[in-house]
Amino acid sequence: MIELFSKRIMVTGGHGFLGKHVVRKIQERGCHDIFIPDSKNYDLRIRENIIKAYQEAKPDIVIHLAAVVGGIGANRENPATFFYDNLMMGVQLMEEGRNLGIEKLVATGTICCYPKFTPVPFKEENLWNGYPEETNAPYGLAKKMLLVQSQSYRQQYGFNSIFLLPVNLYGPGDNFDPRSSHVIPALIKKVSDAKKEGRDEIEVWGDGSATREFLYVEDCAEAIVLATQIYEKSEPVNIGAGFEISIKDLIKKICHIMEYKGKIIWDTTKPNGQPRRCLDVSRAEKEFGFKAKVRFDEGLKKAIEWYEDSK
């Protein structure tokens, strides 16, 4: 096990939704030599900025969380941006890390790496059995290239990197901007706005049949830090809670918690996205002892309370 208190650690995306929790988990383990390259001063799409960040941080370990992300709408509008930005950040970060001889790089992928029609629960060995769901394939494939790079760099150079596949995250501090948010914050905001404006109906994309799995953001941060300390293999690892819920049941749950009685109108002209999503999470438990702790209803209430209090 790597003892983090003695390490210098660089966390890309460390000011973000997930990153803040990861940084706190690292600090709880006694490490305070943490460098967070902010996007204003370190555009990680540009190689020279990555080199500058490495020179200033002199990290032993890099945890790469920075990403250009969004929901179905944002992915459909910006497929090239999502592909290029995520690919360039990750590929160059690993290459320059190898050149400098860093001790370990932790790369985070996405559940969007999986093929559109993957048997449920998704097992890591299913990753290459088809093309990802079309609306987020460019993003998913850009992140998936980090797995190819990680495995090939370990084979050729002996470079120590690992690849984690987190499921959809949620919790306090999430992104509630409707132009780029994921499904849970988007639905919470829809219901909140409808209540505030006195509307007796809300419109939701798709037909409600698609299923998703959600992981509380603090649980995901714990998984990433455990993997950083313990996991040393090339095989990808799912990070999730091991359950699925339909979008129809999700919106009902949100409406119930928020005490909204209005009607749900399904806009079936809009895509559902991937038909089903649920991970097999047994590898994470076996390899580094991770198991999600926060129950979905409990986490959902916390996310809703945070949003209502922040307005």
Total H helices, total E strands in the chain: 10, 12
For residue 40, what are the contacts with CB-CB under 8 A and spacing of at least 6? none
DSSP 8-state code for residue 31: -
Whether 157 is a known active-site residue: answer no
Going by C-alpha positions, the residue among 86, 75, 91, 72 that lies closest to residue 142 is: 86
Q: How far is CA 136 from the centre of its chain?
A: 13
The active-site residue, picked from 42, 114, 139, 216, is 139
Bridge-based pairing state of the strands 104-108 and 34-35: unpaired
Backbone angles phi and psi of 245, in degrees to 5: -140, 140
Determine the Cα–Cα distance for residues 51 and 47; give it in Å rounded to an integer: 6
Phi-psi region of 212 (alpha: psi -120 to 50; beta: other; left: phi over 0): beta
Count of beta carbons in the 10 Å neighbourhood of residue 143: 28
DSSP 8-state code for residue 168: E
Query: Alpha carbon of 93 to those of 46, 235, 294: distances in Å?
Result: 10, 20, 32
Phi-psi region of 31 (alpha: psi -120 to 50; beta: other; left: phi over 0): beta
Does residue 173 sit in helix, strand or coil?
coil
Does residue 200 sit in helix, strand or coil?
coil
* Residues annotated catalytic, as ranges: 139
